[in-house]
Amino acid sequence: MELQCSVQNYDWGKLGHESEVARLAAICSKSITVDESKPYAELWMGTHVNGPSFVVDTDESLSVWLQRNMDSLGSDVRKEFGDQLPFLFKVLSVRKALSIQAHPNKKHAEELHISRPDLYKDPNHKPELAIALTPFQAMCGFRSIDEIQYFLKELPELQTVLGEELCKNLLSADSDNKVYLKEAFRQLMQCDTTIIDKTLIEFLKRAEGESKEYQDKFLYQLLKRLHSEFPSDRGCWCIYFLNYVILKPGEAIFLGPNVPHAYLFGDCIECMACSDNVVRAGLTPKFIDVPTLIEMLIYESQAVDNIIFKPITEDAYTKVWRPPVKDFAVAEIRIPANSTSSYNTIMRPSASILLVISGNAKVSDSLETDIVRGSVLYLKASRQLTITKKDDSEDLIIYQAMCNFQ
For the annotated catalytic residues, the residue numbers are: 280
The Cα–Cα gap between 225 and 354 comes to: 35
Length reported for the chain? 406
The values of phi and psi at residue 230, to 5°, are -135, 80
The values of phi and psi at residue 275, to 5°, are -155, 165
- Name the residue among 102, 122, 5 with its Cα closest to residue 375: 5
